[in-house]
Amino acid sequence: MKKHQWIATLLSLICTGLGMFYIGTPGMIIGGTLLIALQGAALFIFFMTLGFLGLILGPLAIGIHIIGLIIPVIYFNYRSPKKPMFDEKRRRQLSSPWKIVVRTVIGLALFAGSIHAGYTWGSAPFIKTAAEKREVQEATESYLEQKYNEPFKVTDVNYTWAIGTYNLRAHPVQSPELEFTISSNDASPPVISEDTYLNLLWGQQLRDQLKPLLAELYPDQAFADAYVNLDFDTVERDYNQLANADGNVSQNISLIVFADLTADNLAQEKERVLELIRRLPSVTVQGETDLHIEYYGADLKTPDRVKKIEQDFDMNGKESTHSFREFDISKITSADDIEIRELE
């Protein structure tokens, strides 16, 4: 069976060195194997250096591929004027159909193996297997169930190799909308810590308590999100009971307000914010309260956007027109203390 240059070229384009295996002379097979091994090594080094050598290894890998493409072209176009019989022998050497197929399959397997090995060995120190992640997932669900006496579902498991830590997302089985974060180390068995379940649960309760006040001051204009922190380890689920807790409570309240603020009504808005601050202690527990308000044009308030805000408190990249932020509202005593900044 005669070997064709266009077949060798096509195979070389598909996989590095594959056209050399198609040609099949001992030198070509050895050369193709070396090119494939070099590409696998480049991939291994790429992962081991966290991609920092990408500007070197990328061109190197492309160069190796090009070399694997050029060599078959040279092979088919080389002529020996002194030895015409030599040319014919080279073209027909090991050219039976089954030998060509076997060599090509072996070359393809070596290429796939080198890519797989380079990726697997190179990335192994920085990733965890599915079995390892499943162990952490099951341990986390068990930990949460024992701690809060209700079932939980872990929805996402990510491993950060630099600090040897898993970052997970979970939610109560009965409340899938209350998704929170939790951490674990990579020990066996894993040590679970830093879950934010209660912080979000308390924030949800505070948000519900804010609704009547916001409906009064910002009728159909304001939407709230809240996060509550307590520097004391507890499993108390009732936000209002935190007033009796031993630790200090800090509350972060964020508002999205749809209102067209102008120089003419800015003073009126400051008075409204002052009234909100004065009345917040009636719905919050004793502790420090951080208030953040972002203002958006009234025309941005649509049913779809309101639904999105209620789900994940997100304005989808829309730019606010004004902003107010006070990390401790107890410092606000008059409208003169309130600065509503206009944003460009």
Structure tokens at 31: 């050369």
Q: Percentages helix, strand, coil for the chain, rounded to the nearest 5?
A: 55, 15, 30
pLDDT of residue 88: 57
206 and 317 in a common domain: yes
Predicted model pTM: 0.68
Provide the CATH number for the domain around residue 164: 3.10.450
pLDDT tens digits along 24-39? 878 888 888 999 888 8
Distance of CA 104 to the CA centre of its chain: 39
pLDDT of residue 81: 52
308 and 176 in a common domain: no
Answer with the one of 177, 195, 213 that is the final residue of a domain.
195
pLDDT of residue 56: 85
> Which residue type does 285 have?
V
28 and 66 in a common domain: yes
Its domain, for residue 297, covers 198-342
As for how many domains the chain has, the answer is 3
pLDDT of residue 193: 93
Answer with the one of 88, 104, 126 that is the final residue of a domain.
126
222 and 322 in a common domain: yes
Structure tokens at 125: 């120190």
pLDDT tens digits along 271-325? 999 999 999 999 999 999 999 999 999 999 999 999 999 888 989 889 999 999 9
338 and 225 in a common domain: yes
11 and 110 in a common domain: yes
Answer whether 224's CB lies under 8 Å from 215's CB: no
Low-confidence ranges of the chain (pLDDT < 70): 1-2, 50, 79-95, 123-126
Structure tokens at 144: 């949460």
Exposure string of 291-308, with b = 16+ CB inside 10 Å and e = fewer, is bebbbbeeeebeeebeee
